[in-house]
Amino acid sequence: MIDINLIRNNKELVKENIKKKFQDEKLPLVDEIYELDLKSRSLKQEIDKCRNNRKVSSDVIGQLMKNKELEKADNQRKLVQDLNKKIEELEQEEEQVNETIRTKMLLIPQIIADDVPIGKDDSENVEIERFGAPNIPDYEIPYHADIIESFNGLDKESSGRTSGNGFYYLMGDIARLHSAVLSYARDFMINKGFTYCIPPFMIRSDVVSGVMSFTEMENMMYKIENDDLYLIGTSEHSMIGKFKGQIVKEEDLPITLTSYSPCFRKEVGSHGIEERGLYRVHQFEKQEMVVLCKKEEAMDWYNKMWSYTVEFFRSLDIPVRTIECCSGDLADLKVKSCDVEAWSPRQQKYFEVGSCSTLGDAQARRLAIRTKTKDGNQFVATLNKPVVGLCTQIGNWLKSLNFQAKLTLTNA
């Protein structure tokens, strides 16, 4: 959610940003919010005027009672009663207007960074840099599911009976490899100075709406029936929600956290793309990094975070590249984002293993996360980046690097 002062003072900037994200259907919202804001401020002025008149009348009543002018005092009491009723009506109207403003403001995308490339979708994302030479072996690499099954490590037939499509059992050494890589990622980030955390795996709706857009929420989140709880799609949701409504001490910033969690996602429209394997599944585990910092430090942390993920994958001899996300590929809360993509020797292409994002103060503004400075309370900036996602994907990459040796080494 952007600062409403941007709409008050620079509507054209907000509209131009919406155009850059190819969301022209949202352009009317800017003028609607502008007019509603004028109405809200007008109502507030009228409420303040009525309150002032009520105070004056109350003072007059006291003086009239003192002078034994009872009839005049009764007239003033009636005036106060009328003012009370009017104030109540105006406050209800103001509350309704402000709620409408907030609802519409949640649909306005965050102002993107000046250097974000303009494009309609991920096909127009821009490659930035490659790290490590892609390995193209002179022999055929089996499908990653076949590699895992050769170790008796994957059982999707049983999970189909217990849970349906999009789930899996990991078994034996593959399950051990999965845990080992998560542990490696955890310790990797701890060594970078991050504090390890295991968060709640369910969060309330006010946290969900604070960390993501309505579209993301609808496409990703599983709702717990009859409870105001959602299964998290990533530990970022819980980790940012941890600070909801808090004023963080300035000296405590930056707050750097690395968190483990299972992740639950609907994957609307995606399931079946990699039906035999472990991509686009409804449940997986991930090691995440989350940072809360001063807004002026956000870009420094953004560059550190994506570089940590690159370093992590290169420590496993996995070639990666970074991709700058274009304007149309950015979620509404994001200021800037880059994907880290790993090389798949079987598919002979790169594919995403994590996205590094700075969200400015969008999440902090929605969740009222502030820091107290000499200039008053200010919203913090929030950033997030997975260290590693579905760890069993690594089996595919390690095949071309002597998978058996790596498996033994990782579990040692």
Q: Where are the domains of the chain?
A: 4-105, 122-411
Cβ atoms of 135 and 149 closer than 8 Å: no
Which one-letter DSSP state was computed for residue 157? H
Q: What is the pLDDT of residue 390?
A: 53
Q: What is the pLDDT of residue 396?
A: 43
CATH superfamily of 4-105: Serine-tRNA synthetase, tRNA binding domain (1.10.287.40)
Backbone angles phi, psi at 399, to 5 degrees: -60, -40
Q: What is the pLDDT of residue 140?
A: 79
The span from the CA of 297 to the CA of 219, in Å, is 32
Virtual torsion, Cα 147, 259, 332, 282, nearest 10 deg: 40
Q: What is the DSSP string of 104-122?
A: HHTTSPPPPPTTSPP-SSG
The span from the CA of 90 to the CA of 96, in Å, is 10
4-105 against 122-411: fold identical: no
Virtual torsion, Cα 211, 216, 218, 224, nearest 10 deg: -40
Per-residue pLDDT reduced to its tens digit, 254-304: 999 999 999 998 875 554 444 456 767 888 898 999 999 999 999 999 999
Dihedral sign from CA coordinates of 49, 54, 55, 59: positive
What mean pLDDT comes out for the span 152-166? 90
Residue 404, CA distances (Å) to 32, 51, 172, 295, 410 in order: 62, 78, 14, 46, 10
Q: Which of 238, 277, 340 is nearest to 144 (CA)?
A: 277
For 110, the token pair is 């965050």
Cβ atoms of 381 and 297 closer than 8 Å: yes
Query: Considering only 31-35, 176-180, 353-357, 397-401, which range has the smallest mean pLDDT?
Result: 397-401
Cβ atoms of 61 and 77 closer than 8 Å: yes
Query: Considering only 140-144, 151-155, 175-179, 190-194, which range has the smallest mean pLDDT?
Result: 140-144
CA 334 from chain centre, in angstroms, equals: 8
Location of structure tokens 């940072």:
291
Q: Where are the alpha helices (DSSP H) in 11-127?
A: 11-20, 27-66, 70-105
Location of structure tokens 């800037």:
336
For 331, the token pair is 């979620």
Highest mean pLDDT among 90-94, 162-166, 351-355: 90-94
For 34, the token pair is 């502008």
Per-residue pLDDT reduced to its tens digit, 77-136: 888 899 999 999 999 999 999 999 999 999 999 999 999 999 999 999 999 999 999 888
The domain defined by 122-411 folds into BirA Bifunctional Protein; domain 2 (3.30.930)
Per-residue pLDDT reduced to its tens digit, 219-235: 788 999 999 999 999 99
SS3 content of the chain, % helix, strand, coil (to 5): 50, 20, 30
Better-predicted residue by pLDDT, 8 or 345: 8
Residue 135, CA distances (Å) to 138, 239, 249, 278 in order: 10, 37, 48, 22
Roughly what angle, to the nearest 10 degrees, separates helices 172-190 and 298-314? 140
Amino acid at 176: R
Highest mean pLDDT among 89-98, 178-187, 401-410: 89-98
The span from the CA of 58 to the CA of 171, in Å, is 77
296, burial (CB in 10 Å: exposed 0-12, middle 13-18, buried 19+): exposed
